A and B are shown apart, each in its own frame.
Chain A
Amino acid sequence: MGRPVAIVGTGQTRHGRRMDVCYPELVREAVMAAFADTGIDPEDIDGVVSGTMPSMMEGVALTHFYFADAMQAAGKPILKTETCGSTGVSIAHTAYYWVASGMADLVLAVGHEKMNEGDSQATMTTVAEPFYQRFFIAGAPGVFSMQSQMWTDRYGIAEEKLRDAAAYISVTHHDSAFDNPYAHIKIKVTMDDVKNARIITYPVRLLDVCPNSDGACAVIFASEKMAKKLGRKPAWVKGVGYRGEEYYFGDSDKAVWQSAIEAAKQAYDQAGIRNPRKELDVAEVYNPFTYQEMLFYECFGFCGFGEAPDLVLKGVFGRNGELPCDPSGGTLCTNPIGATGLIRTAEAAMQVTGKAGDHQIPGARTALAHAMGGVDQFNGIIILGSEL
């Protein structure tokens, strides 16, 4: 690890269908909230990292131009990081390396998406190249339902148990979203609601899927010297891991998912974590689909392969369980994609600094945040701790 780096402030918008603001105003809302939370001014910032999903999402390209003023970035050094769905965590990583290098003491990271101004599934269809894949893996649910089926088939998971576990995840996350002031979808759902919701792509049903959200998130990273000077409780970066794999969907094993396994391993090694289920206090797993969340538990070593559904139903990953996952309601309830990984990071920072409010996990000291992207091919992890 390089120089110690801390997160000293976070800001989120109220996520949802934000027709009350234009896109730059949405970005500004998160950025100004982060400055207020940190107690610094835009003049104090040494550099800005910006990022989002593809330009087709809202029909504006190279958005750092458009948001220069909203991000308070005019006259500042800038980097623009984009890695598809994992963009949010990649933005956090960029800000981390920038401070760890010694080239900056305060870096502002900003992620954003205004999905109600575009067609997200049409956009994601264009992630698949036009010659072979685009015809049959259009949009996100197709890819993830194939992955879910590969996984359930591999481990012989009974359909009834699988549906129960997925429904349990959906119900508990939707409940948690009520405790998160920034969350988008706040509805009370029952196990039966989830299990009987309309099919999107088998086995994925409507309540197994994240929404299209408008939202932005800003996180301020600081050097050790600056973090101490600010005198606020920081969240220290303990590990950063990232891996990418093949583009063609059929080229990789998506059940024993190497990019997820290896990204977590890199971050664990840096953080000195050997038994993540015991040593992590909370995890913000990128969970646009209930089934995929269980797969991540296994790839991240929270449990053995094929074991996740049983443990989910025992409440191991619930708010009061051994390793609470997504107490914010997660991506399942809020997904402004370019911001989502950074929201996971911000939520993890809030947890280890005791600032998560009604969805605080008591005494959380070590937290994992995660994002996933590409054609099911990128995974990024950041681990935060309350102690240096």
Chain B
Amino acid sequence: MPKRVAIVSVAQSAGAESKDNFYDQAYWITKEVLDKAGVRKDDLGTVISASSDIFHGGISCANAYYWEATGAFLKNGSRQDGESLFALFYGALRIMSGHYDLVLVISVCKGSENPDLDSCTLMYADPFYQRNVGLTETMAAALQMKMYMKKYGVTREQCAAVAVKNLGNAVRNPYAHRKGRYAVEDILNSGITSDPLTVLETAPKSEGMVAMLLASEEKAKSLTDKPVWIKGFGSSLDSYNLGDRDLLSGQLKNAASRAYKMARIQDPHRQIDMAEISEPYAFQELLWCEDLGFCRPGDGAGMLESGITQRDGALPVNPSGGVLANNPYVSRGLQRAAEAVLQIRGEAGERQVNKKVRTALAHGTHGFAGQCHAVVILGR
């Protein structure tokens, strides 16, 4: 039986452009997460960070740059690329292996020093066939959205309603970058990014340093009386070529079923109290809710319209405002997990949901039309 792993402390930076330089941002968020737990950097066994060279301000080998700013000097550390929930998983694996009992997991992404996100995601496209036609994450999502609308008869208005909900939720979130009380019409008239996606249905480019302290069971009990346990996690990678994939039946089901199995969740709709889902494109929240088993395929829009996923609903989704409100690309998955931790601890401030949260789900995705997904289940 693998060892249990707890999250004992979380910290996150605000998503709008910061006046601090990269080093200072990484340092301050590290210090904050350590101070909150009452530990010093010398107490850390290992540091696992997440960052991507393509989203790193033109500096390659990202973790070489910020290594000592994250308390990793002369420590055993490593880095995960692309998805910050990978860093959470790797940190957990290091504790479960019995080698470490206190792990810093940190994700760093300073959006203001990066080009437009799709200038970066274009570099996911192979240089021979797909890059020449300008395939980016936004373009792939637009193709996926059209297929989704066609298959289930979902309207643009129903997709825009996700942005209305999430940008409205973000008004209560001091860390969110883009926020506001919008009508469906405002969302639809905000300009087109890649037809049919509009500007407010496409996540912005944000800054985001997110840090988390993981501890073994024994260590967690000495550090906090409110540990949040990692109950289950899973990831899954899809094939590369868009044409080889079923964009409406992707790998999220696989990633989720791995996490559910580990967390012994048979009925996610009932057993999960709230979810923080990565929806860089508004309609994806509907599709991902279906893949996560919160509702039947094609029922995502109906679920939203019923109010269930509202902040005061039975299964709130993205009470923080989600990725549409704040999109520090690499950090967004870990930020979802940090928000879920705050909800479980009852420390989410004005964005706290109106129900007791025992079990929460956090999700991250990256790649064309969700080529890769990661899911973690957290609980009391």
Cα A90 to Cα B52 in complex, Å, equals 16
Determine if A54 is an interface residue (Cβ-Cβ < 8 Å): yes
Determine if B194 is an interface residue (Cβ-Cβ < 8 Å): no
Contacts of B66 in A (CB 8 A): 247
Partner of B90, one of A61, A97, A244: A97
Q: In the complex, how many angstroms separate the beta carbon of A127 from the nearest chain B beta carbon?
A: 4
Q: In the complex, how many angstroms separate the beta carbon of B158 from the nearest chain A beta carbon?
A: 29
**CB distance B238 to A83 under 8 Å?**
no
Give the total number of A-B pairs whose CB atoms are below 8 A apart.
Answer: 203
- Residues A359-388 near B (CB distance < 8 A): 373-375, 377-378
Cα A130 to Cα B53 in complex, Å, equals 14
Determine if A93 is an interface residue (Cβ-Cβ < 8 Å): yes
Segment of A67-75, A195-203, A299-307, A323-331 engaged in the interface with chain B: A67-75
**CB distance B61 to A103 under 8 Å?**
no
Q: In the complex, how many angstroms separate the beta carbon of B248 from the nearest chain A beta carbon?
A: 16
**CB distance B73 to A78 under 8 Å?**
no
Cα A44 to Cα B92 in complex, Å, equals 23
Q: In the complex, how many angstroms separate the beta carbon of B129 from the nearest chain A beta carbon?
A: 11
Interface code B60-85, partner A: CB below 8 Å = 1, 0 otherwise? 11111111100011111111111100
Cα A54 to Cα B121 in complex, Å, equals 15
Q: Given A3-B97, A103-B96, are A60 and B78 also a contact pair (CB < 8 Å)?
A: no
Contacts of A53 in B (CB 8 A): 60-61
Q: How large is the interface on A (under 10, 10 to 19, 20 to 34, 35 or more residues)?
A: 35 or more
**CB distance B126 to A54 under 8 Å?**
no
Determine if B93 is an interface residue (Cβ-Cβ < 8 Å): yes
Determine if A124 is an interface residue (Cβ-Cβ < 8 Å): yes
Judged by DSSP, the binding face of B is: mixed
Contacts of B327 in A (CB 8 A): none
Cα A55 to Cα B62 in complex, Å, equals 11
Interface code A237-253, partner B: CB below 8 Å = 1, 0 otherwise? 00001111111000000
Cα A246 to Cα B66 in complex, Å, equals 9
Contacts of B74 in A (CB 8 A): 243-245, 258-259, 262
Contacts of B93 in A (CB 8 A): 97-98, 100-101, 103
**CB distance B64 to A75 under 8 Å?**
no
User: Closest residue to B94 on the A side, CB-wise?
Assistant: A97
**CB distance A101 to B96 under 8 Å?**
yes
**CB distance A129 to B59 under 8 Å?**
yes
User: Closest residue to A96 on the B side, CB-wise?
Assistant: B97
**CB distance A54 to B61 under 8 Å?**
yes
Determine if A187 is an interface residue (Cβ-Cβ < 8 Å): no
Determine if B372 is an interface residue (Cβ-Cβ < 8 Å): yes
Q: Given A74-B237, A79-B89, A101-B97, are A126 and B58 also a contact pair (CB < 8 Å)?
A: yes
Q: In the complex, how many angstroms separate the beta carbon of A237 from the nearest chain B beta carbon?
A: 11
Cα A241 to Cα B2 in complex, Å, equals 22
Determine if B316 is an interface residue (Cβ-Cβ < 8 Å): no
Determine if B19 is an interface residue (Cβ-Cβ < 8 Å): no
Determine if B251 is an interface residue (Cβ-Cβ < 8 Å): yes
Determine if B234 is an interface residue (Cβ-Cβ < 8 Å): yes
Contacts of A247 in B (CB 8 A): 64-68
**CB distance A48 to B123 under 8 Å?**
no
Contacts of A64 in B (CB 8 A): 81-82, 237, 372
Q: Given A262-B74, A375-B64, are A60 and B86 also a contact pair (CB < 8 Å)?
A: no
Task: Select the residue from B2, B53, B92, B120 with max chain A CB neighbours within 10 A.
Answer: B53
Contacts of B1 in A (CB 8 A): 102
**CB distance B64 to A55 under 8 Å?**
no
**CB distance B123 to A127 under 8 Å?**
no
Contacts of A179 in B (CB 8 A): none
Cα A1 to Cα B100 in complex, Å, equals 10
Q: In the complex, how many angstroms separate the beta carbon of A149 from the nearest chain B beta carbon?
A: 22
Contacts of A56 in B (CB 8 A): 53, 60
Q: How large is the interface on B (under 10, 10 to 19, 20 to 34, 35 or more residues)?
A: 35 or more
**CB distance A2 to B97 under 8 Å?**
yes
Determine if B320 is an interface residue (Cβ-Cβ < 8 Å): no
Contacts of A90 in B (CB 8 A): 78-79
Determine if A266 is an interface residue (Cβ-Cβ < 8 Å): yes
Cα A75 to Cα B366 in complex, Å, equals 15
User: Closest residue to B89 on the A side, CB-wise?
Assistant: A79
Cα A288 to Cα B299 in complex, Å, equals 57
Determine if A59 is an interface residue (Cβ-Cβ < 8 Å): yes
**CB distance A61 to B120 under 8 Å?**
yes
Interface code B111-152, partner A: CB below 8 Å = 1, 0 otherwise? 000000000110110111000000000000000000000000
Contacts of B94 in A (CB 8 A): 97, 101
Q: In the complex, how many angstroms separate the beta carbon of B118 from the nearest chain A beta carbon?
A: 12
Task: Select the residue from B62, B79, B237 with max chain A CB neighbours within 10 A.
Answer: B237
Contacts of A242 in B (CB 8 A): 76-78
Contacts of B62 in A (CB 8 A): 54, 82
Determine if B44 is an interface residue (Cβ-Cβ < 8 Å): no
Q: Given A101-B93, A247-B68, are A1 and B99 also a contact pair (CB < 8 Å)?
A: yes
- Residues B291-347 near A (CB distance < 8 A): none
**CB distance B2 to A101 under 8 Å?**
yes
Contacts of A73 in B (CB 8 A): 237
Q: In the complex, how many angstroms separate the beta carbon of A64 from the nearest chain B beta carbon?
A: 6
Q: In the complex, how many angstroms separate the beta carbon of A138 from the nearest chain B beta carbon?
A: 12
CB<8 Å pairs between A and B, sample of 8: A64-B372, A75-B238, A97-B94, A98-B93, A101-B2, A101-B92, A127-B59, A244-B67
Chain A positions near chain B (C-beta within 8 angstroms): 1-3, 22, 48, 51, 53-56, 59-62, 64-69, 73-84, 90, 93-94, 97-98, 100-103, 123-124, 126-127, 129-130, 241-247, 258-259, 262-263, 266, 373-375, 377-378
Sort A-B residue pairs by CB-CB distance and give the 9 closest, nearest first.
A2-B97, A54-B60, A101-B96, A374-B64, A84-B61, A100-B97, A61-B123, A61-B54, A54-B53
7 extra interface residue pairs, beta carbon distance < 8 Å, beyond A55-B60, A244-B63: A56-B60, A65-B372, A69-B240, A75-B236, A101-B92, A123-B60, A263-B76
